[in-house]
């Protein structure tokens, strides 16, 4: 009888030590619920086992809190990575659109400039009456010869937003693409006096191209001497 009371007091003593050691509300509730089962324990090992269970219960609660914090951190990191990736993709798309617009614009204007330069260079004279100088909707008419050596005319003019060329037979051909808009088509006649006097044409052309929201405007200049004029 005395031994049982001694064990009961000893168990209560260990229980009090474990309770003071843990200092946790959840652990206190757990001890209160299991106090009756602890009283029937007959050895110190059983009490320590119960204390170990309380510690495991407390650790499981703490681990759940840590998992929630970690989840929030992972979500924040994932959000930052998603934002960075999206910005990078948008920057690449804008860069590609800019390059595409510039390429289409330069390709279209290069064809027109090359054709006009070659025709001006091979011309004998400028038809002043059929030309319009110093205007944004200019016109240039050249007196030249064809491949068979027959005298003919070549005319460059602006219709709508495109540059056209017309020969002496009235055949008309567009020199710029439909995706390119010509906003300025200006010719100026230059006469070089002195020995071996000659003539030249200065061309000032402004073109604009669009691709979705991307838009690019560029100026093109060229001065060509008429070889047949000297």
* Average confidence (pLDDT) over 16-35: 47
User: How far apart are alpha carbons 78 and 146 in whole angstroms?
Assistant: 70
Whether this model's pTM surpasses 0.85:
no
User: How far apart are alpha carbons 152 and 119 in whole angstroms?
Assistant: 12
User: What per-residue confidence (pLDDT) applies to 191?
Assistant: 86
- Domain borders along the chain are 109-229
Mean pLDDT lowest among 118-122, 148-152, 180-184, 187-191: 148-152
User: What per-residue confidence (pLDDT) applies to 132?
Assistant: 94
Q: Which of 189, 190, 207, 186 is nearest to 110 (CA)?
A: 207
């Amino acid at each position: 009888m005395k031994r049982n009371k001694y064990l009961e007091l000893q168990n209560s003593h260990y229980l009090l030590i474990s309770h003071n050691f843990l200092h946790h509300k959840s652990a206190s509730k757990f001890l209160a619920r299991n106090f009756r089962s602890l009283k029937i324990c007959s050895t110190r090992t059983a009490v320590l086992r119960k204390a170990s269970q309380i510690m495991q219960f407390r650790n499981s609660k703490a681990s759940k809190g840590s998992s929630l914090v970690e989840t929030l951190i992972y979500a924040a990191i994932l959000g930052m990575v998603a934002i960075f990736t999206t910005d990078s993709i948008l920057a690449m798309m804008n860069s590609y659109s800019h390059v595409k617009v510039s390429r289409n614009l330069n390709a279209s204007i290069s064809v027109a400039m090359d054709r006009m330069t070659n025709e001006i260079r091979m011309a004998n004279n400028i038809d002043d009456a059929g030309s319009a100088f110093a205007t944004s909707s200019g016109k240039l008419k050249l007196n030249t010869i064809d491949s068979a050596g027959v005298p003919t005319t070549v005319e460059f003019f602006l219709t709508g937003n495109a540059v056209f060329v017309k020969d002496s037979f009235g055949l008309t051909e567009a020199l710029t693409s439909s995706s390119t808009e010509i906003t300025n088509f200006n010719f100026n006649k230059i006469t070089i006096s002195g020995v071996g006097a000659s003539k030249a044409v200065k061309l000032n052309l402004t073109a604009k191209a669009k691709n979705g929201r991307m838009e690019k405007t560029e100026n093109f200049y060229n001065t060509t001497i008429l070889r047949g004029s000297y």
